[in-house]
Amino acid sequence: MERNIQFVGQSTAFLDSVERASRAAALNRPVLVIGERGTGKELIAERLHQLSRRWQEPFITLNCAALPETLIEAELFGHEQGAFTGATRARAGRFEEADKGTLFLDELATLSMGAQERLLRAVEYGEVTRIGSSRPVKVDVRIVAATNEDLPKLADQGRFRSDLLDRLSFEVITLPPLRVREGDIMVLSDYFGRRMAAELGWESWPGFTAAALAGLEEYQWPGNVRELRNVIERAVYRWQHWDEPVAHIVFDPFDSPWKPRVSMRREEPAASADEPRIAAPASVGLDSVTDLRGAVDAHERAILEQALARHRYNQRQTAKALGLSYDQLRHAMKKHGLSERG
């Protein structure tokens, strides 16, 4: 299926971001795209490429969070045969693949310090060296990078190289979240609704009821446009009366009275539907401990909940911050009954 990269929206904040991307596209300079998940960072990166002089050349994408730290450098810069266990043949990296074109690095903040150092050299000198080789290869690549992290703050904390940040931030485009894009929720809802109705073969598009529209406007959309599209398409798909306005919106598809209970090592009292869930205190008075295992479990759960919230439930970043492997974090979450989104 052909990828749809159409921009839909009318709010000033959104149109200003698109306009900044259009202006920056013609310049052969790095661009940082900042925004919450689901705001369309990759679409902006594609626009930067398509409106540039490189539009006929490769547009190569790499999600830096999708690969373990041990493989990210080989993926970026390539490797020679026998450079490490499993390297049965030489392979060009993403930089070489993107030569004369654009390299889009998503989730930039997850790069290790070693990879950041090599990335800085590639951007600074226009050359990369494959792992296992001593001969640099010249490349002509434009870098577009994206993240949902506060990179200047990470640089102040020593978790991101300041010199790399300076080099990549010629232009910084910060995308507004959907909740502040005035009028765009209605425009996008109608757009996605019409498309889904056409896919289902409806004879016409009846729109939404006033109550449904009010619910869409009131919701905060933590997943932004990506979440909105799923909610709208699901609502249209489940609606059985194509000649009547869609009246029922399901924001959480996992909400069910038959939701399976998570098996836990220790049973916790069930909270009522109206009662907020409160994390265990970060510290417990030693004199008050009468159940050592229970106190340890409560403390561990509190640490996990706070770390997950701090990293916006990005499990790989949370695991790294806690000094755990991804599998260890998943095991701990399962042990304490923590869901994907808290």
Q: How far apart are the first and last CA of the chain?
A: 34
Distance (Å, whole) CA 144 – CA 27 = 12
Asked, colleague to colleague, whether 12-176 and 181-238 share their fold, the answer is no
Counting Cβ atoms within 10 Å, is residue 235 exposed (0-12), middle (13-18) or buried (19+)? buried
Q: What share of the chain is helix, strand, coil (3-state, %, to 5)?
A: 45, 10, 45
Q: Is pLDDT larger for residue 45 or for residue 332?
A: 45
Phi and psi (nearest 5°) for 52? -95, 175
pLDDT at residue 41, rounded to an integer: 96
Give the model's confidence band at 232: pLDDT under 50 very low, under 70 low, under 90 confident, else very high: very high
Kindly state the percentage of the chain with pLDDT values over 90.
62
Q: Are 324 and 304 in contact (CB under 8 A)?
A: no
**What is the structure's pLDDT at 265?**
54
Alpha carbons 158 and 234: distance in angstroms, whole number: 43
pLDDT at 244: 95
**pLDDT for the residue numbered 4:** 52
- The sign of the dihedral angle between the CA atoms of 307, 308, 309, 312 is positive
pLDDT in tens, 75-98: 999 888 877 777 778 889 899 999
Structure-token pair, residue 286 = 């030693």
Query: What whole-number percentage of the chain has pLDDT above 70?
Result: 89
pLDDT over 70 at 269, yes or no: no
- Residues 127 and 112: their CA atoms lie apart, in Å, by 19
Stretch 230-249: mean pLDDT, rounded? 95
1.10.10, 1.10.260, 1.25.40, 1.10.357: CATH of 262-342: 1.10.10
Q: Is residue 295 predicted with pLDDT exceeding 60?
A: yes
Least confident of 252-261, 281-290, 332-341: 281-290
Q: What integer is the mean pLDDT of 174-203?
A: 96
| Rounded Cα–Cα distance for residues 167 and 98 (Å) | 19
> What is the rounded distance in angstroms from the CA atom of residue 311 to the CA atom of residue 325?
15
**What letter does residue 118 receive in the DSSP assignment?**
H
* Number of alpha carbons in the 13 Å side-chain half-sphere of residue 20: 17
So what's the pLDDT on residue 315?
A: 84
Domain residue limits, the chain: 12-176, 181-238, 262-342
The per-residue b/e assignment along 41-50, b for 16 or more CB within 10 angstroms, e otherwise, is bbbbbbbbbe
| Record: fold of 12-176 | Rossmann fold (3.40.50)
pTM: 0.72
What's the average model confidence in pLDDT over 244-260?
A: 91
312 or 13: which leads in pLDDT: 13
Eight-class DSSP state of 173: E
Which CATH architecture does the domain made up of 181-238 adopt?
Orthogonal Bundle (1.10)
pLDDT band of 342, cuts 50, 70, 90: very low
